[in-house]
C-alpha cells in the first residue's frame, strides 16, 4: 500500500483541530474518517475527496480533478485531485474542507 506520506502529513496538519478523526487503510491508500464516514483519502500521490453525488459534476469542473474510478467505474460522489491541485496549503485546506463538510452532513456510523 503505497501513498505519499508527505501529503498524509499535510492532511493530518489540516485535520489537527477536527475532533474524532480516525485514519483507516482503504482503497489502496489511507482514508481519514469522521464519525465513521470517509471525508478524504490519499492514493499514491493524489487526494481523494468525498463530495457527494449532488456536488459531483460541479466539483469536476475544477482544474486538476477527475472522477474516482478505483473499480474501473466512476464512483459518483468521490473525486481525485491531482498533486498539481494541492501545491499550496490553501488549495489543500479547501479540498480537505470540502470532504469534511460533506462527511459532516452524514449520520454517524
- Encode pLDDT of 43-86 as tens digits: 888 999 999 999 999 999 999 999 998 777 888 999 999 999 99
* 54 lies in some domain: yes
State the residue range of the domain holding 81: 5-104
Give the pLDDT of residue 28.
81
Tally of domains within the chain: 1
Give the pLDDT of residue 30.
96
* 25 lies in some domain: yes
Cell (9 digits) for 97: 474542507
* 109 lies in some domain: no
* 78 lies in some domain: yes
Nearest alpha-carbon partner for 17 in 80, 83, 93: 93
* 80 lies in some domain: yes
The model's pTM: 0.94
Give the pLDDT of residue 1.
54
b/e burial code for range 14-50 (CB count within 10 A of at least 16 → b): bbeeeeebeeeebbebbbbbbeebbbbbbbeebbbbb
Instruction: Give the CATH number for residue 45.
Output: 3.90.1150.30
* 87 lies in some domain: yes
* 58 lies in some domain: yes
User: CA angle, corner 23, sides to 79 and 108, nearest 5?
Assistant: 80
Amino acid at each position: 500500500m503505497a501513498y505519499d506520506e508527505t501529503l498524509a502529513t499535510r492532511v493530518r496538519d489540516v485535520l489537527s483541530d477536527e475532533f474524532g478523526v480516525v485514519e483507516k487503510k482503504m482503497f489502496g491508500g489511507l482514508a481519514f474518517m469522521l464519525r465513521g464516514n470517509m471525508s478524504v483519502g490519499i492514493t499514491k500521490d493524489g487526494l481523494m475527496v468525498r463530495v457527494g453525488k449532488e456536488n459531483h459534476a460541479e466539483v469536476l469542473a475544477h482544474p486538476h480533478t477527475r472522477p474516482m474510478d478505483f473499480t474501473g467505474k466512476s464512483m459518483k460522489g468521490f473525486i481525485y485531485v491531482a498533486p498539481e491541485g494541492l501545491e499550496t496549503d490553501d488549495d489543500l485546506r479547501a479540498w480537505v474542507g470540502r470532504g469534511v463538510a460533506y462527511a459532516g452532513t452524514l449520520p454517524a456510523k
